[in-house]
């Protein structure tokens, strides 16, 4: 299942209901608890309003939101924190023309705990893979480059679990360490769905230059490929086993 891009914006309107997936149960969505959104302006910002060089853009605000899972028996609580950002807003004027230039404050999410899953972490995934994914999902809100680094570690953990070699002999008979992209190439060569799995290489290449060079669209694409690969490797066995069990069942048993 591909990740719904609209759910994972870092900037959201103040009146949003969120709707992020619950980290604890499979079907729940997280909604703002009544009165659960708090906005505050720090003293240093409020005092600056009196300064002659003050402009509306100078305002700093902090917010926190308490979200609750809408599946009643679960009721998980997730806290989000962040600050405000000003964005341009398009407004329809009376003549049906779109007017650009209006500005509005929106919430920027800086952190979420416990972190909503960008995709479901199956209990069939090896513990190291599960751990790395949980960290990646937390870092998603804080630092895209750090999130990508964790996704690369997740792929390394999966390749280790699949016993993909870490070293190779070069043509001169010398041992060479294989980088992540080479290991992915070795894993996908000849594998079923090798075309789709080839997308894993994007994770190896994403954001390798450091800094802010990670595009969130690329990051979400990489997550789609990773989910496809992990569920294909670790969940298909249990699905096949269940199918075989059903097939073996005689009618009426
Ligand atoms: Zn829940």
What local confidence, expressed as pLDDT, does residue 123 receive?
93
What residues make up the domain containing 202? 117-233
Asked if residue 17 and residue 74 are part of one domain, the reply reads: yes
Asked if residue 100 and residue 85 are part of one domain, the reply reads: yes
Residue 20 lies in a domain: yes
In the reported structure, the alpha carbon of residue 10 is separated from the centroid of ligand 1 by a whole-number distance in angstroms of 21
Average pLDDT estimate for 207-217: 68
What local confidence, expressed as pLDDT, does residue 97 receive?
77
Asked if residue 198 and residue 106 are part of one domain, the reply reads: no
Residue 252 lies in a domain: no
The residue ranking higher by pLDDT, 180 or 139, is: 139
What local confidence, expressed as pLDDT, does residue 89 receive?
84
Give the tens place of pLDDT for each residue, 72-83.
Answer: 999 999 999 999
Residue 65 burial class via C-beta count within 10 angstroms: exposed 0-12, middle 13-18, buried 19 and up: buried
Domain total in the chain: 2
Asked if residue 97 and residue 12 are part of one domain, the reply reads: yes
In the reported structure, the alpha carbon of residue 141 is separated from the centroid of ligand 1 by a whole-number distance in angstroms of 20
Residue 141 lies in a domain: yes
The chain-wide mean pLDDT, for the chain, equals 87
For the cut 70, the answer to whether the pLDDT of residue 29 exceeds it is yes
In the reported structure, the alpha carbon of residue 122 is separated from the centroid of ligand 1 by a whole-number distance in angstroms of 16
Asked if residue 100 and residue 23 are part of one domain, the reply reads: yes
For the cut 60, the answer to whether the pLDDT of residue 210 exceeds it is no
Nearest to 134 by CA among 124, 122, 50, 239: 122
Asked if residue 112 and residue 18 are part of one domain, the reply reads: yes
For the cut 60, the answer to whether the pLDDT of residue 197 exceeds it is yes
Residue 50 lies in a domain: no
In the reported structure, the alpha carbon of residue 197 is separated from the centroid of ligand 1 by a whole-number distance in angstroms of 31
3-state DSSP call for residue 45?
Answer: helix
What local confidence, expressed as pLDDT, does residue 166 receive?
93
In the reported structure, the alpha carbon of residue 226 is separated from the centroid of ligand 1 by a whole-number distance in angstroms of 24
What local confidence, expressed as pLDDT, does residue 250 receive?
63
95-104, 182-191, 209-218, 240-249 — most confident range: 182-191
Whole-number Å distance between alpha carbons of 90 and 87: 10
- Those residues with Cβ within 8 angstroms of residue 44's Cβ, 6 or more apart along the chain or in another chain: 60
Residue written as tokens 């694409």? 221
Asked if residue 182 and residue 156 are part of one domain, the reply reads: yes
Asked if residue 177 and residue 108 are part of one domain, the reply reads: no
In the reported structure, the alpha carbon of residue 153 is separated from the centroid of ligand 1 by a whole-number distance in angstroms of 28
In the reported structure, the alpha carbon of residue 35 is separated from the centroid of ligand 1 by a whole-number distance in angstroms of 20
pTM summary value: 0.84
Asked if residue 100 and residue 136 are part of one domain, the reply reads: no
Asked if residue 88 and residue 137 are part of one domain, the reply reads: no
Residue 17 lies in a domain: yes
What local confidence, expressed as pLDDT, does residue 209 receive?
59
Asked if residue 151 and residue 84 are part of one domain, the reply reads: no
100-104, 137-141, 147-151, 227-231 — most confident range: 137-141
Asked if residue 165 and residue 97 are part of one domain, the reply reads: no
Q: Are residues 203 and 222 in contact, defined by beta-carbon separation less than 8 angstroms?
A: yes
Q: How far, in Å, are 6, 65, 201, 238 from residue 234 at the CA level?
A: 28, 35, 19, 8
Whole-number Å distance between alpha carbons of 12 and 27: 22
What local confidence, expressed as pLDDT, does residue 154 receive?
94
Q: Give the max Cα distance, the chain.
A: 84
Average pLDDT estimate for 92-108: 80
């Amino acid at each position: 299942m591909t990740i719904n891009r609209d759910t994972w914006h870092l900037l959201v309107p103040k009146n949003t209901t969120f709707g992020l997936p619950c980290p604890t149960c499979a079907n729940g969505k997280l909604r703002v608890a009544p009165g659960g959104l708090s906005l505050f302006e720090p003293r240093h910002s409020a005092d600056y309003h009196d300064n002659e060089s003050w402009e509306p853009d100078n305002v700093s605000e902090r917010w926190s939101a308490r979200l609750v899972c809408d599946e009643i028996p679960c009721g998980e609580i997730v806290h989000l924190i962040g600050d405000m950002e000003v964005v341009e807003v398009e407004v329809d004027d009376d003549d049906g023309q779109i007017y650009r230039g209006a500005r509005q404050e929106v919430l920027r999410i800086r952190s979420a705990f416990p972190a909503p899953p960008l995709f479901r972490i199956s209990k069939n995934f090896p513990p190291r893979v599960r751990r790395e994914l949980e960290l990646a999902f937390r870092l998603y809100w804080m630092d895209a480059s750090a999130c990508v680094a964790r996704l690369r570690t997740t792929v390394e953990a999966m390749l280790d679990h699949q016993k993909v070699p870490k070293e190779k002999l070069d043509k001169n008979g010398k041992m060479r360490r294989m980088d992540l992209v080479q290991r992915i190439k070795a894993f996908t060569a000849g594998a079923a769905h090798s075309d789709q799995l080839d997308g894993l290489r994007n994770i190896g290449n994403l954001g390798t230059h450091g800094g802010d060079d990670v595009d969130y669209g690329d990051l979400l694409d990489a997550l789609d490929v990773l989910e496809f690969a992990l569920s294909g490797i670790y969940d298909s066995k249990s699905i096949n086993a269940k199918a075989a069990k059903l097939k073996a069942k005689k009618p009426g048993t």
